[in-house]
Structure 1
Amino acid sequence: MKRTKRWLLAALVLGVGVGGFTISKGTGHAATTDPQTFISTLKSPVTTVANKYKLYPSVMMAQAALESAWGTSTLTTTANNYFGIKGAYNGQSVTMQTSEYDSNGQLYYTNANFRKYPSAKASMTDNATLLRNGTSYNPTIYSGTWRENAATYSDAANALTNTYATAPTYGSSLISIIKTYNLSSLLDGSSTSSSSSSSNSSSADTAAPKPKPVVYDKATYFGASGTQTARLNAQYTSYRLYNHIKGTREKVTKTAWNKVRAGQDVQVYLDMRGVKKATTTGKKTTWYRLKFTDSSSAKKYWVYGKALTLPTVKYTKGSATVKVNSALSGSYYNHVFNSPYLAKSMGTLKKLTAKSYTADNQAVKTQDGVKSTWYRIKVGDDKYWIASTETAASPQYDYVLYSAASGTKKLSAKYKKYTLYNHVKKTHFNQESYKWPSGSKKGAKVTVNYKGLKTAYGTTWYRIQFSGNKTNYWVDSRALA
């Protein structure tokens, strides 16, 4: 819903008499509608809608009177538009002249499209929805008008100044109408009409709680090193580009996709990740800061992670000794480089002075169809990720010469001294050991289906199966007779 901060061409200077009001000199002729008739006519839709949306009916009535010149403005008589809301309502609109205040506070005139409503109640409901839902850039911009936040109608009226309208006296004009026609007593069910911001506030208003401050979602940010990339996916247009993570601060602005070089599968460059936690629900979402070229001066935007196709990473726990070539100019990272976590360099390979390190996790990353393997190594009390390449870091496994085998063998008397594995020992990262199956005993027959020779140690290994069990186990040949 779009609402421009504005002041209608028929801006009012209120009279104090019950007979009505006058128009500022030079802006038109005096209206003839009786304010009491206006109030009586709109009392039902105003109270119904305002109470439904937990707003002050007195403030809504005063707004309607002020914005519509007590129902005499052309916009109201032709379009049932009591609040000067621009745009179209169910496709219906009218073009009217309106006045605006520029950034320097100077008044100027322009033509604009305003919503055309089927009834006064529809206009009231649309305005109430606006006050409750706010704008796309700030959903809580009008939260000061909500009855749970505004202790008095005066607080609610003043909360509309510099938010709903740019006129500096907007709130005081509304309060003047409410007091003149006793709208608080008539509509709000209360005779209290004092403003909490006034020096003449009652003791009840003074003790009333202040409006709650706007609470934004919290975000935790994680920096990234180097050029890390992703691609816009098929659903990217369902999301938006922002100058900050949406909902984490005021005045977050959007940028349309047609303003940038966007398209499905277009590569983007990422330099930061943010995890947002919603204040109301606690839900966490992941966002990325991107740019459309790798230039350091390129403009940056934030986007929800679901708009991107990111590399996939499969992690496997295990154990291996990783040899590192510290003579190279590469880096080690806090995460796999270019993973969905994004990675930050924690140092160069030259700082890794040991020849080998113990790894406890393996990651296989797939990006644009290309796979790469990474290992998490322990350096002192810390753990870092390093790429597994022939020149940078390579896991050290025992060499095995494999060959086909068949037939049966029996468990030896010393079989329990040896362990069953999923691979020949010290040959794979995801090495696992198993207990001997129930029924295992000296002389029990097993089927042999593969053979491995560790040439460096001169030991032989067999891959076996137990009767009624299709699981393959590797075991040292000395466990067999």
Structure 2
Amino acid sequence: MVNKSWMKILMVSVLITPTYFLAEQIGSSSDDLVKAAAYSPINEVNEVSNNPGMLRASVSPVDQQAFINEVVPYAQSTQEKYKVLSSITLAQAILESGWGKSQLAVQGNNLFGIKGKYLGQSVIMPTQEFVNGQMVTVNAEFRKYPTKAESITDHALLFVNGLSWSKDHYKKVVDAKDYIEAANELQKAGYATDPNYALKLIQVVESNNLAKYDVIYDKVTSQKTISERAAVTTTSGHTVWSKPYKVEGVGYVDTAGNYAGKVVDLVSTATTARGTYHQFKYAGKMTGWLDARAFTIYDKLEYDKSFVSRATVTSPVGNGIWSKPYNLEGRVSTGAGTTYANQEVKIEREAKTAHGVYYQFSTNGKVIGWMDKKAFTLHPYDSIISSKQVSLDGQITSDVGNAIWTKAYKLEGTTLVAPASTYRNKDVTINQEVQTQHGTYYRISINGKFIGWIDQKAITLYDKASYNKAVTFDANINKTSGHAVWTQPYRTIGTTLVSSASNYAGKDVQIIREAKTPKGVYYQFKSNNKVIGWMDQRAFLPYDKILTNIKIDKEATIENVTANSIWSHPYFSVGTKYIAGASAYQNKTVKLIREAKTAKGTYYQFSIDGKVIGWLDQKAFKFYNKLESDIVFKASGKITNVTGNAVWSKPYQLQGTTLVSAASVYQNKQVSILRKAKTDRSIYYQFSVNGKVIGWLDQKAFTNVK
């Protein structure tokens, strides 16, 4: 609290005496002390005013504190840089400028009455000075600062740089451990001739609690590791720092605005006298410290469970609807609760966070979102949402947690008939289905007698076959995992288990019937002429039917062996067994003796030296032309039709034929024809150019043959 009696004494002093910044020194005869009035980077020789332009008005406590708040950051900044205590800077500024109300302070931001120019700027003020031993009023030029910060810096530099003849003149002031020592060292250094100057400074410091501003670094009073997710929601007035704000060694990292709306990880929290700060990571990278007020920390989910109930939205005002329970990470607004005011809804789930309990709700089967439970009034009973007549057959297969009721569960007046386990595995008929907030329920009878109502999840409905027809084909049972053999197509009425499918793994069987149900297609099969049962079609690999199988007489070479094999029958026909890889006969010339076609392709049975080897896909064979004749044929001609033709080492497509060149190399050449050969494909000429034998070319490439 400000000492009002001291303030009264101070203001009287302000009105009738000069300021204390060397006011008495200027009246002395020491030229050196006049020079020492203040040091500036512009001019070492400065003068100060005897309270120029001082306002003759009292200063309210509110204005006093406003002045302190304004200049404290500058004083602390110079203390951090130059080590001059903020309390001394503030006390002197209060005394010299009358709480910043002097005209010199108002017009020139000059708090200490320093004369001269600052960066070429000045202001003229009347001031009282001693001239020839007499106090006179003169107009003088005083420094005009852009802000009060520069005035305070000038003041600090006087103490740091000392006097022209004594650089360490104010060293003890700078090195003082507290304001009392600093004030007394100022007095000893001759800063003012007023014997009470140090006392007055101390009184200003203590009456205004200025010593607290000497503590420019905050201390961390507590710090701990945390693990929270948060969003940066308030960035105005906040900055990201390398340490908690104002802790010694803190440095600027970034503006908080660059993280506005970002979701971050909080890893540490620290408290100082100034506030609480969180250290955070963004995108996995450690970023810095930010005031706790900048964050909205997301809640953690304590639980989220199914909770079914009928309810009415009775208190929607002030409640929003969210995609997740309020204040969970990732939640977004999906509407206002008032949209569903007084509507009946279904509660789907219940969740709890630090903020409260929330319900997820739906209407007409559509999930709307989450809202505070206080917005709802729950009803003790369900209502019937829909009801319809049905004709279904099923079996009670899931009795755990289920029961049979006189009405659909949770309807008013419902009573228990029996646990569902009483009718475990019983076949039932269903003639009515109703839907309530809790689910769908069936009205069941056994052997024509009404039993009660049961949740549909307790019933496995029998399928109805859309067709069941006779078929005939062969297959191999090659996939048994997850399959079984049944007396009827699976899950149709009367179905019972015959055996595991694994009992027939790898067996060849005959398919005799095919049926389709909503669950799939099923085959009835025989093995060794005995009907076994029904199984899912996915367990079978049907054999291909041989469409044709005829006798042939051809020669070919086995060349394309990649991915081809030799089989005992045309590939994937009944009885097919693997013989060998086609590579065992690569480049062998073989005799083709039969040709068979299936849905998958064409296959040849072949022999070598009269021995039947097996069947192979036609794509594995290379067929060559047969040479019917090869005679001497002396003639000449011209090669003109080269398109689609080439020169070969033998007549084209004879075994061992290789390419010599494109026919275009010899276009319009006059050549000599040496031989004529005929194959089952065409007629070819062997020709020479300038006595050199070139090769064989289709006769259609020649003209003017003579």
TM-score, with structure 2 as normaliser? 0.23
Higher relative contact order (CA 8 A, sep 6+): 1
Larger Rg: 2
Structure 1 or 2: more strand by fraction:
2
